[in-house]
Structure formats: C-alpha cells, structure tokens
Amino acid sequence: METLRPDWPLLLVTSLSLVATLAFTLAFPMAMGAVFDLVRAQGGLAGGAAAPTAAAVGPFSHGAMAAPTSFQGVLLRLGACMVLSATGNALVAYLSTLLGERFGHRLKGRLMQIIMAQEQSFFDSTTKGDLVSRLTLDVQVLQATVADFIGLRGFRSLFEVLGALCLMCTQQPLLALVSLAITPLLSRLLRAVVVRSSAIIFRRQQVAAKALDFASERLSQVQTVQVFAQQEREAAAFAQLSEGALVLSRKYAFFQGIVEGTGRLAVNVGTMSLLGLGGMLVIQNKISVGALLAVNMLNVFISVGLSSAAASLGELGKAVGALERVAELVAPSQAAASAGSSEAASSSSETASSSGCSGSNGAGPSVLDGSSTSSTSSSRSTPTVAAAAQPEASISGRVELRDVWFKYPGAADWAVRGLNLTLLPGQTVALVGPSGGGKSTIAALLLGLYRPQRGEILVDGAPLPAAGEGGRGAAAVGMAAVLQQPMLMSGSVTQQISYGKPEASHAEILAAARAAHAEEFVQQLPQGYDTEVGERGHALSGGQKQRLAIARALLLQPKVLVLDEVTSALDVTSERYINDTLRHLAATKLIIAHRLSMVRRADLIVVVEGGQVVEAGSREQLLAMPDGIYRRFVSTAELGWVEGGLSD
Ligand code: ADP
C-alpha cells in the first residue's frame, strides 16, 4: 500500500475512468434495447406480439435515460456508448498497467534496498536464487495483480456485476430475480474453486522458486559441475524440480477450466431462464422485446463479470503468496532488531559471568593493548605486549574489541569467545593461527558484517555501525578491506577501483592503481583503464583481481585497513611491492596472513585458536618464548597454518 501511495493521483484518475467506463458499458445494453424497440415500433419487426405502445419504447418503459425517438437518435446513442466504453476500457487498461509497472518498479527498488541493508547472517541463511526470485518473480506477480485488480478485471468485474444487478433490480425487478437466484450459486461455486486454486498456486510458486534457486546456484558453480562431469545429473535434477511445478500447474489448469466452464454454463442457464420468463412477459405485452434484450445482456455482464472476478481473485491468491515471500524480506530486519535487543538484555546478565568464563577456562587472555603493556605472554598467563615503534595514540584509527563473543546463526559453538584486542592507530596487527581458528570471523566482525552477541567494538571510541545499517557500515567510519576472494563487479577497471568513491578523480585512481602494483597490467589491457572486467568482462587472473581490490581499498585512504590473506594470489614481485606500500600506509592494519613475509613486519602478532587469543606479542617476543606456539610453528615442519614460511 505504501508503495502505491506516491501514485495516488494516477490511482484517482484510473478510478474515475473506471467509473465512467462502467457507466458507458452498462448504458450499452439499454441503448441496444432502445434500437431494437424503435425498429420494432416503426414496423421493422412485424408479426408475433403486438407492437409496444409508445410509452414502452425503449428497453425499460421507465428507463433512467430519456429514450430518443428517432432511429438516428438511438443509433447515435448506441454508437456513443460503444465508442466511449471502448475508449474508457483502453484508458483504464493503460492506466492500470502503468500503475502496476510503476508499483513493481518502486517495489523492486525498495526490496533491493532492504536486501542490501541486511546483515551478513541474513545472506548466510538465504540463497541468492531465492532473493533473485523474490525480486523478480514475486514482484512481477504483485505488479500484475495490482494492474489486474485495479483496472483489468478485479474491481471492474465486481463493479460491473453490482452495477448490472442494480440496474436490473430497479428496472425489471421480476427478471432481476432470475439473475439474483443464479448469482449466489455461481459465486459460491466460484469461490470454492478460487480457494482451491489459490492454494495450488501458492504451492506452485514455492516449487518454482526452489527450481530457480537450484538453477542459479548450479549455474554459479558451473565450473565445478563440468569438472566433475555432472551436467546431466544437474540438468535432470532441475527437470525433476520443475516437474513438481508442472504437476501443480496441471491441477491449476483444471480449476481454471472449471472457472471457464462454470462461467459459460451460468451465462447459458441465465440466458435460458431469462428468455423463458422474459419471453412470457413480452408475449403478455408487459415488457418490450428491447427490455428483454437489455436484461439479457446485463445478465451476461453479471455472469461473465463473476467468472472474471473469480479468475482475478485466483490471481490474488498468487499475489498473497508472493506478498508473503516479499514481506519476509522486510521482517528479518525487524526480527533482527528485536533479537538484537533481547540479546543485549541477556548479555547484560551474562557479562558478569563471561569474564569469569574466559578467566576460568584459562584460555581467555585479557586486553591486548600495546599502550598499556610491556611484556609478552601466552594464554596461560594474560598476554600483554609492547609493539615496536608505537605510533601516537592520538591519531585516529584506534580499534578496540572488548570482550567480544560471537556465534554464527544456527551454530552450536562460539566462533569468537571473549576476545579483547586493541589496535592502536597506525599499528599493524597480524592474526595468525590454524584454519578455522576464527581469524576471518574477527575480520568480519571488525568490518561490521556481523554483530557480536556480546561485547562491543569501538572505532576511535565510537561503536562500530553494523554493515548495511541505514546505508552506513565500516567505510562510514574510515575503514576499508581487501577480502580473501576479491570479487569484481561488472564495469571498467576505473569503476572497480573507484567503487567505494565513485567521485574519485582520474589522478586518484591512477595513484591507487600504482600503489597496488596494478598499473602495469592495466596498461596492457585492450582499453587500459576503460577495459570492461568483472562478471562478463575481460578475464583477470586471481592476482590481478587482488591488486584491483587493493587499489579499491587504498583509494579510500582508510584509517583502518583489514586485509584477509591478500597476498595469497600474488606473485613474489607484486607481494613485495604491495608489502612496501602497506608498510608506508598511515593506517591501522589488521592482517590475516599465511605468509610469514606479511606477518614478520607486524607490530603485533596475535595467535588465534578456537576463537580466542592464545598468544600475542612482537615477532621477537614470540620467538623468544621457549614454549611459544608461534615459535613452535615457525621452527618446525608443523607449520600448517603459516604456509611457505618454514624459514622465517
Ligand atoms: P579462520 O579464518 O581462522 O580459518 P574462520 O573465522 O573462517 O576461521 O572460522 C571460525 C569458525 O567459524 C569455524 O569453526 C568455522 O567453521 C565457523 N564459520 C566460519 N564461517 C561461518 C559461517 N558463515 N557460518 C557458520 N559458521 C562459520
């Protein structure tokens, strides 16, 4: 409804056109009856019953419209009704289709906005195919329903039925009784059919969405499908899923057939009954032939209108299903908000025990704040560290994670448990540790992609906004990131680099590309910076994509930069170059690295295992620890998680 509100002037014009069109449409049978009676009165139709008296000329002897007495006059009236009704119908169809389209357009935009504002956990639990089907299929259904219901069939048919019934009742009450007797029977039958078919349509939509979901997932993974030679199996599985929709469509078609058939039957039964009763009245000279004809036509309007309204209601059933699916997109944000507040409420009661929790298990180190500490320790004693060459604490870019606890939605265990970590302005902090230890989760939390269930994350003393929250996110507080698998969106190289700052000057883009060691390869592309890359563009290697992603982050001149295994796809020269750039970057850096070359120069190395900090300190400090985990991993062949770093 809210989405329709901006179009109220159009809605008003459509409604007025609809009413006017209805008036002309309903006037048509009467005009036709008038022609008939005049022809008969003037001797065109001889024989049978006596010609009606002058007073009976016109379809209804006491008709609302003054009956013209000349043949040209009645013909003109008939012609005017026809033209105006046709024009009105065309106008209503145009306006209501336009309304539907505008509604769909606005709804799609709004939904995209809502989807984009969701938290990462929402995307973890929803497939892209499902979202796409809501954005496309469901919105299409809704926009078609708006058009259909407002102008094409729904309201129009209902008004037509009501108008025709009223007209009949006021003009020929006896004949109207016939129609009134048939109408409830017909509408009851149609209602039963509509209820059944709506349920079928809803189920069919769910099945169709599942098939679409399946197709979009498999198509996005087509390389894997082909490498494992599973094309036929996947195609067969898709066909099977679509088959489910087909079976339901068959049932739906059956009910559509019943609607059609019942409608026709009603028209015929009504016509027969009216002709029987009306014919008798004509013979008794109680009504004119024209009146009988007009009543008969009005009855056709009623029957056709009813089955048309029923079909429209059937579509409405479809729309209800679509609306439910679309509404679900709006609900999670509200649900998340309330869940957030209840989490917050429960966290306050649990916070007291949480500190005890990290302390009691002996593995939860407390604050890793370089500013307040001077020695290295492992998890067995509270790790504290003095990072080499501490930058000024007053510079912005201070990030604090305070007793952060995070569990993925639906997961049984905490991915991050009671984490305390402070990144001082300008400091480079490297997170290392075994796979699954929680490094990427910490980075995601730091970027606001997930909200911790307990604890808080502060950037320069202010709480970190959740990604998507009112269009804000990490970038709004001067953070940028280069993630493990940099995805490029369709667009030119320039657009890739300037993604976070579309208004960036060419000079800024060039500087960022140079800093990310991307300039050389970009210049060799067919159209240089204008080359289309990304989804359907020029294919780039993993390392090239990585460098564009780094340039994209550097362009923002962030005060905090999060780098998740950025050098994994880089060649040695690029890596060295980028390391050099990063070293000179005046930003706080959180690095998740597998290569020791990245870790080595960090001011603070934090070993993360089981979602906790188990060891922290400068490289020298960690290597100096006799039984240190870092030292053990670096100096032995167990170095599974510091890939390629056997010799530090
Ligand atoms: P690392 O980066 O150190 O390899 P992660 O942060 O990726 O570790 O993973 C930490 C834990 O969280 C693992 O147990 C992993 O299985 C789990 N995990 C990671 N991502 C998700 C997710 N999207 N949904 C549920 N669990 C996840």
Residues 472-480 have a mean pLDDT of: 78
Q: Is the pLDDT of residue 143 over 70?
A: yes
Question: Ligand 1 mean position to 646 CA, how many Å?
Answer: 25
Q: Is the pLDDT of residue 37 over 60?
A: yes
Contact 483, 552 (CB under 8 A): no
Residues 60-78 have a mean pLDDT of: 64
Model pLDDT, residue 430: 92
Question: Ligand 1 mean position to 412 CA, how many Å?
Answer: 12
Q: By mean pLDDT, which of 44-53, 76-85, 344-353 is the weakest? A: 344-353
Q: Is the pLDDT of residue 501 over 60?
A: yes
Closest CA to 597 of 576, 622, 617: 576
Whose Cα sits closest to atom 1 in ligand 1? 436
Residues 122-150 have a mean pLDDT of: 80
Strand order in the sheet with 462-463: 416-423, 399-406, 454-459, 462-463
pLDDT band at 80 (very low <50, low <70, confident <90, very high): confident
Pocket test for ligand 1, best of 406, 407, 440, 591 (most atoms within 8 A of CB): 440
Q: Is the pLDDT of residue 278 over 70?
A: yes
Question: Coil, helix or strand for 458?
Answer: strand
Q: Is the pLDDT of residue 404 over 90?
A: yes
Question: Ligand 1 mean position to 121 CA, how many Å?
Answer: 12
Q: By mean pLDDT, which of 455-459, 558-562, 594-598 is the weakest? A: 594-598
Average pLDDT across the chain, whole number: 76
Model pLDDT, residue 636: 56
Atom of ligand 1 nearest to the CA of 433: 3
Contact 629, 437 (CB under 8 A): no
Residues 65-71 have a mean pLDDT of: 60
Pocket test for ligand 1, best of 123, 408, 592, 607 (most atoms within 8 A of CB): 408
**Number of separate helices (H) and strands (E) present in the chain:** 19, 13
Residues 434-453 have a mean pLDDT of: 88
Whose Cα sits closest to atom 10 in ligand 1? 438
Model pLDDT, residue 386: 34
Question: Ligand 1 mean position to 328 CA, how many Å?
Answer: 27
How far, in Å, CA of 40 to CA of 43, rounded? 5
Q: Is the pLDDT of residue 18 over 90?
A: no
For residue 59, give the amino acid letter. P
Atom of ligand 1 nearest to the CA of 608: 3
Residue, of 37 and 389, whose pLDDT is higher: 37
Can you state the percent helix, strand and coil of the chain, rounding each to 5? 60, 10, 30
For residue 53, give the amino acid letter. T
Q: How many CA atoms are closer than 13 Å to the CA of 105, on its beta-carbon side?
A: 8
Residues 495-499 have a mean pLDDT of: 89
C-alpha pair distances (Å), 391 with each of 253, 370, 425: 73, 10, 6
Question: Ligand 1 mean position to 506 CA, how many Å?
Answer: 39
pLDDT band at 470 (very low <50, low <70, confident <90, very high): low
C-alpha pair distances (Å), 473 with each of 13, 142, 381, 446, 449: 43, 32, 36, 10, 8
Residue, of 573 and 101, whose pLDDT is higher: 101
Q: By mean pLDDT, which of 139-148, 334-343, 558-567, 611-620 is the weakest? A: 334-343
Whose Cα sits closest to atom 25 in ligand 1? 408
Contact 516, 581 (CB under 8 A): yes
Atom of ligand 1 nearest to the CA of 410: 25
Q: Is the pLDDT of residue 586 over 90?
A: no
Q: Residue 462: in which H helix or E strand, if any? A: strand 462-463
Whose Cα sits closest to atom 13 in ligand 1? 436
For the chain, the straight-line distance linking the first and the last C-alpha, in angstroms and rounded, comes to 64
Question: Ligand 1 mean position to 441 CA, how many Å?
Answer: 6
Residue, of 289 and 646, whose pLDDT is higher: 289
Atom of ligand 1 nearest to the CA of 564: 2
Residues 228-236 have a mean pLDDT of: 87
Neighbours of 183 (CB within 10 A): 21
Q: Is the pLDDT of residue 169 over 80?
A: yes
pLDDT 10s digits, 627-640: 888 887 776 534 44
Residue, of 4 and 629, whose pLDDT is higher: 629
Q: Is the pLDDT of residue 371 over 50?
A: no
Q: Is the pLDDT of residue 337 over 70?
A: no
Atom of ligand 1 nearest to the CA of 434: 3
Residue 269 Cα to chain centre, angstroms: 48
Question: Ligand 1 mean position to 255 CA, how many Å?
Answer: 49
Contacts of 16 (CB under 8 A, 6+ apart): none
Model pLDDT, residue 389: 37
pLDDT band at 3 (very low <50, low <70, confident <90, very high): low
Tokens representing residue 408 in the block: 């993925």
pLDDT band at 568 (very low <50, low <70, confident <90, very high): low
ipTM of the complex: 0.98
How far, in Å, CA of 265 to CA of 136, rounded? 37
pLDDT band at 537 (very low <50, low <70, confident <90, very high): low
Whose Cα sits closest to atom 21 in ligand 1? 408
pLDDT band at 238 (very low <50, low <70, confident <90, very high): very high
Atom of ligand 1 nearest to the CA of 443: 6
Question: Ligand 1 mean position to 565 CA, how many Å?
Answer: 15
Residues 484-498 have a mean pLDDT of: 82
Highest mean pLDDT among 144-148, 203-207, 298-302, 608-612: 608-612
Contacts of 551 (CB under 8 A, 6+ apart): 496, 497, 509, 512, 513, 515, 516, 518
Model pLDDT, residue 363: 34
Residues 248-266 have a mean pLDDT of: 79
Question: Ligand 1 mean position to 440 CA, how many Å?
Answer: 7
Contact 288, 57 (CB under 8 A): yes
Pocket of ligand 1 (CB under 6 A): 124, 408, 411, 415, 433, 435-441
Residue, of 65 and 123, whose pLDDT is higher: 123
Residues 217-242 have a mean pLDDT of: 85
Model pLDDT, residue 642: 47
Question: Ligand 1 mean position to 411 CA, how many Å?
Answer: 10
C-alpha pair distances (Å), 540 with each of 490, 532, 643: 12, 10, 25
Residues 29-37 have a mean pLDDT of: 82
Pocket test for ligand 1, best of 125, 432, 441 (most atoms within 8 A of CB): 441
423 bridge partner residues = 399
Q: Is the pLDDT of residue 47 over 70?
A: no
How far, in Å, CA of 18 to CA of 269, rounded? 29
Model pLDDT, residue 133: 77
% of residues, the chain, pLDDT over 90: 12
pLDDT band at 407 (very low <50, low <70, confident <90, very high): very high
Question: Ligand 1 mean position to 461 CA, how many Å?
Answer: 27
How far, in Å, CA of 297 to CA of 67, rounded? 18
Model pLDDT, residue 245: 83
Q: Is the pLDDT of residue 414 over 90?
A: yes
Whose Cα sits closest to atom 23 in ligand 1? 124
Model pLDDT, residue 605: 92
Question: Ligand 1 mean position to 442 CA, how many Å?
Answer: 10
> For the packed helices 71-116 and 289-360, what is the interaxial angle rounded to 10 degrees?
0
Whose Cα sits closest to atom 22 in ligand 1? 408
Question: Ligand 1 mean position to 436 CA, how many Å?
Answer: 5
Neighbours of 591 (CB within 10 A): 25
Residues 23-51 have a mean pLDDT of: 71
Whose Cα sits closest to atom 24 in ligand 1? 408
